[in-house]
Amino acid sequence: MFPGGSVGKEFACTAKAEGYRCRSAFKLLEMNERQQILRPGLRVLDCGAAPGARSQVAVQRVNAAGTDPSAPVGFVLGVDLLHIFPLEGATFLCPADVTD
């Protein structure tokens, strides 16, 4: 379906209900289920991070906020040309252009 389709709206509503900033969080969650790319203690660079949903997932999975004291603490850096509202456990550089 296209982003404006009923499936897109359903995921957008689910994302809001689960506390994510947008539905792109589910894409990263699904990818992480298959590949296990995000683990506690890793460093993550989120290019094109706005509005911050992928960074939310990364913060949870790499333990960037230190919520699990028994796991290593990771780091999440988000970069975007657009403003991103603060997120505990993530550092955002915006407006910033990674191509500069």
Band (21; pLDDT cuts 50, 70, 90): confident
Which residues are paired to 46 by β-bridges?
78
**What pLDDT does residue 13 have?**
73
Kindly tell me if the per-residue pLDDT of 94 is higher than 80. yes
Judged by phi (left if over 0) then psi (alpha if -120 to 50, else beta), residue 48 lies in: left
Mean pLDDT of 18-46: 94
Domain ranges of the chain: 6-93
- Residues 8, 20: contact at Cβ < 8 Å? no
> Distance between CA 5 and CA 50 in Å, rounded?
22
Task: Please report where in the chains the tokens 């603060």 appear, as a residue.
Answer: 86
Q: Which fold has domain 6-93?
A: Rossmann fold (3.40.50)
Kindly tell me if the per-residue pLDDT of 14 is higher than 60. yes
Mean pLDDT of 69-96: 98
Give per-residue pLDDT as tens, 34-52. Answer: 999 999 999 999 999 999 9
Extract the tokens encoding 84: 């991103």
